[in-house]
Amino acid sequence: MKSIVAVGFILSLSILAACAGSIPVPAEHHDRWAALAWPGTTHADLIEGRRLYIENCSGCHGLKSPMDYTENQWKENVSEMRQRAKIKEADSQLILKYLITAAQKSDRLDTAAMTN
Range of the structural domain that residue 57 is part of: 2-115
Which pLDDT value is given to residue 101?
Answer: 96
Beta-carbon count within 10 A of 11 CB:
10
Rounded Cα–Cα distance for residues 70 and 16 (Å): 24
Packed helices 43-57 and 71-85: angle between N→C axes, nearest 10 degrees:
60
Residue 109, classed as helix, strand or coil, is: helix
Report the domain count for the chain: 1
C-alpha distance across the termini of the chain, in Å: 58
Tens of pLDDT along 17-51? Answer: 444 558 999 999 999 999 999 999 999 999 999 99
Phi-psi region of 86 (alpha: psi -120 to 50; beta: other; left: phi over 0): left
Tens of pLDDT along 71-113? Answer: 999 999 999 999 999 999 999 999 999 999 999 875 555 555 4
Nearest to 30 by CA among 44, 21, 43, 20: 43
